[in-house]
Amino acid sequence: MTSGDGVVRRGHPIFAVHVGDYPEQLLVTGCKNGECPKCPILRTDLGAEMDGNRPLRDLGKVLDALATLDHDGPRAYTKACSEAGIKPLYHPFWEALPYTNIYHAITPDLLHQLYQGVVKHLVSWIREAYSTEELDARCARLPPNHSLRHFSKGISKLSRVTGSEHQDICRILLGLVIGLPLHGGASPVRLVRATRALLDFLYLAQYPAHTNQSLTLLEDALQAFHDNKSIFVDLGIREHFKLPKLHFFDHYRRCIELYGTTDNYDTQFSERLHIDFTKNAYRATNRKDELAQMTVWLERKEKIDRHAAYIAWHHRQPETAPGYSSSLLVSQPPRSQPSPAPTPTASGPQVATPTSIIRSSPSHAKARGGRPRAVVLPVARASR
């Protein structure tokens, strides 16, 4: 591969990070639905408490189970995979990759774990804890602000809320619940603390740079949420918190220490391609046998985009650049016949000297049946 200094070097890339949502993480690791794709925690213990030092799944045991397929047959292979805690996988792509641990490679996903995950649950819990009419009225009474989205009709009637809309709701969520009394005269202190702790974790997880102090604050915010989440059980909103996405928050600090800040492996950037490559392509079809039509539409769109990029690049090239071509090429006078010097006049104007333009003549090409012949046309050109 060619590096930034123009030197071609041999590269040996190492698979280090897998970016995907929860179903994709389960698919690549072979874990079952409702389990953690990184550690072997029991389903009954998910979301119960915070513990960032849990050991990850044993990769050696999993590789030994996968190796039984070629030696002991499918029945022994299925039993070995069940004992290793995974579904039977037929030679996954990471099995023979060097220096690769697929359970280390699973990384946080802010879009699906936070905005479309736990934050989505939190908004629904708050709507059940308070009156939706009062929440919507508070949204409408918020003063307009350039950096905030104004929900004039409230948030209770929103349907199919996107990640960006949840992001806008998070900016005003704490202001909506402060000072609101709960039903039955219960104290809202723990609910406000849980909401603030989860929002603190959300924004701390998105820091563009981290220190030991910021990572400690990240864990403190998560611990504060676990200390106050029982308010939702007391209100009858939740019976348990066995949420794999909530449990995955325990692994955020370790992933940030290993692979850097979360913007390095956030699915928000790749999720945008679903609109370009899927939704827009599907709208261009007749909704029947759409896969073939979508493929043709994408191929044509890529060809048009490449041609448009070439035209834009061509227009940026100066006329004096090497390789520049045009239908009119100005030829310089031959060296054997130098151009005469300009004749000064009383008023000092410059005198035009003859030169030539080479233009292809299609009529001569038809007459000769060959390539177009260049025709020299005399024109006037101002000389200094």
264-268, long-range: CB < 8 A, 24+ apart: 264/17, 265/17, 265/19, 265/107, 265/108, 265/109, 266/19, 266/109, 266/110, 266/111, 267/19, 267/20, 267/21, 267/109, 267/110, 267/111, 267/112, 268/110, 268/111, 268/163
Nearest to 65 by CA among 90, 45, 36: 90
Tell me: the pLDDT tens digits for 263-272?
999 888 787 7
Strands (E) across the chain are located at 329-331, 352-361, 373-382
Residue pair 168/180 in contact (Cβ under 8 Å)? The answer is: no
Tell me: the pLDDT tens digits for 116-168?
999 999 999 999 999 888 899 999 898 888 888 889 888 988 888 988 899 99
Mean of the pLDDT values across residues 351-378? 45
pLDDT for 356 equals 44
Mean of the pLDDT values across residues 315-329? 61
- Strands 373-382 and 352-361 turn out to be antiparallel
Strand partners, 354: 380
Burial tier of 326 (Cβ tally within 10 Å: 0-12, 13-18, 19+): exposed
CA angle 102, 103, 104 (to 5 degrees): 90
Q: How would residue 11 be classed by pLDDT, with cut points 50, 70 and 90?
A: confident
Contacts of residue 66, defined as CB under 8 A and 6 or more positions apart, other chains included, come to 77, 81, 89, 91, 92, 95
Nearest to 188 by CA among 224, 234, 142, 240: 234
Cα–Cα distance measured from residue 42 to residue 214, given in angstroms and rounded to the nearest whole number: 29
pLDDT for 199 equals 96
